[in-house]
Amino acid sequence: MSSTEEGGGAVGAVSTDQPIINNNTNNNPLETIIPIQGRNFTFSDSELRNLRSLDVAFDGDQLDPSAKPLIQRVPSTLGRQEDFKKYFKPKVISIGPLHHGDSAFLESEKLKLKLAAHFVKNIGADKDTLYNNMKTEIDGFKKCYHPKGLEKYSNDDEKLAWMFFVDGCAILQAVYMLSVKDIDHTLSELFIKNELLTFVYSDLLLLENLLPFPVLELLTSSRENGEKFMKAIIRFIDVTVKGPQSHQQDR
């Protein structure tokens, strides 16, 4: 006797009293979901918020491949790794807003101010003009940072502009000193130990210790001798990031 005669249908046939899911791809996929039988429930406000959060997550914060990178803190998962901190957390000097005001770097504020004062003198520009230029361009510089990194400066552009001004001048002076032949004499004039300056240089390219490059360009654009400072910066980036070995050979 065949299976069709005994069971009334082909092997594997679905019983007619069970729901069949429609796999037609032209239909709305939501219509193919079979709800579990039971009483109807009313969602609470918190449950409605949870369900709506799925829609928000789907539509919001889409990655934009064309968006320019922003200066920001590293993800917290990486921040908890002690071995990784050397790549983003400064040791001696804070640059930019992310670590500004940290008690660990209060001593470095005096060092930055001293370096900045020597830069203003060496470039031969009026300090009032340099600072006013920084205030004028502050909105553009703020766009280089993730908004969370500037939360404590949300209503204080004056403080932010001063920080950019001092930090930018200090970077330019410190890096320019690398190209000075009698660097020991220069350091003695500034009362800076060579060992301390070595740590300063290592802090300048850390992920959470950066300034927008246009800050440096602005500070060096007002005088002809600003070119020598900018050349020193470019060379510092080249030898530090691209080829530290070639830098050692040049020296």
Tokens of 106: 């209060």
DSSP secondary structure string for all residues of 169-187: HHHHHHHHGGG-TTHHHHH
Q: What residue has token string 């002076």?
A: 173
Residue count of the chain: 251
How close are the terminal C-alpha atoms of the chain, in Å?
A: 97
Query: What integer pLDDT is reported at residue 62 of this predicted model?
Result: 60
CB 232 within 8 A of CB 171: no
What angle, rounded to 10 degrees, do the helices at 106-123 and 183-190 form?
Answer: 120
Convert the pLDDT of each residue in 39-84 to its tens digit: 677 889 998 899 888 888 777 656 566 677 899 998 888 777 777 8
Convert the pLDDT of each residue in 77-124 to its tens digit: 877 777 788 889 999 999 999 999 899 999 889 999 999 999 999 899
Convert the pLDDT of each residue in 177-214 to its tens digit: 887 765 555 555 665 666 677 888 899 989 899 999 99
